[in-house]
Amino acid sequence: MYAVLKTGGKQYKVAPNDIIMVEKLAADAGTSIEIDEVLMIGDNQTSTVGAPLIEGARVAAEVLEQKRAKKITVFKKKRRQNYRRTIGHRQELTVLRITDILAAGEAKKQPKVTSKAKSAAKEPNESKAEPKAKATPKAKAEPKAKATPKAKAEPKAKTTPKAKAEPKAKTSPKAEASNTEE
């Protein structure tokens, strides 16, 4: 038996026990989900096609892990404009294992219990671990001492400006002569 389902804007042809990678779904690893957007269900002799969906049909799946795809590089360029941009992108994915395909009106089958599931179910009931002692809260840090304002720097002593040198008087020969005559 196979089904064609739609999720994340894409269509996937799946059969029981198939493992597929789809766009990220909001579910934790290990949980079971049901996808109700089933476009087609078929087996070797017959097939049922929806218009566009088959009402009541579901595909049960188990979430194996949440992961990210390989990084792709996006490069943009406009020639002769000195315009180049490089950016990377990693798409987030959900890995699913298809457990069952349910046509309209079918009930979900009980999953087989494996030995791992049996032992996991027994362990919590048999030996309950004592709750861990609560960690004591850390002591509160003491508030820092308030910053004291710095003392104002005393103004520098004013220096007296240097005395300007007096310009040398040019003596004319006539002035010197008048001094000598006396």
Q: For residue 173, with 0-12 CB atoms within 10 Å meaning exposed, 13-18 middle and 19 or more buried, which class applies?
A: exposed
Find the mean pLDDT for residues 119-126. 48
- Using a cut of 0.75, tell me whether the model's pTM lies above it: no
Q: Which residue in 163, 138, 140, 57 sits closest to 102, CA to CA?
A: 57
Is pLDDT of 120 > 60?
no
Structure confidence at residue 113 (pLDDT): 45
Span 56-102, pLDDT tens digits: 999 999 999 999 999 999 999 999 999 999 999 999 999 999 999 99
Conformation bin of residue 8: beta by default, left when phi > 0, alpha when psi is -120 to 50:
left
Structure confidence at residue 135 (pLDDT): 60
Distance of CA 152 to the CA centre of its chain: 51
Is pLDDT of 43 > 70?
yes
- Alpha-carbon torsion 21, 27, 33, 35, what sign? negative
In this structure, are residues 4 and 38 in contact, taking their beta carbons and an 8 Å threshold?
yes
- In three-state secondary structure terms, 145 is coil
- Tokens at 111, concatenated: 């999953």
Of 38 and 163, more confident: 38
Lowest mean pLDDT among 116-125, 135-144, 153-162: 116-125
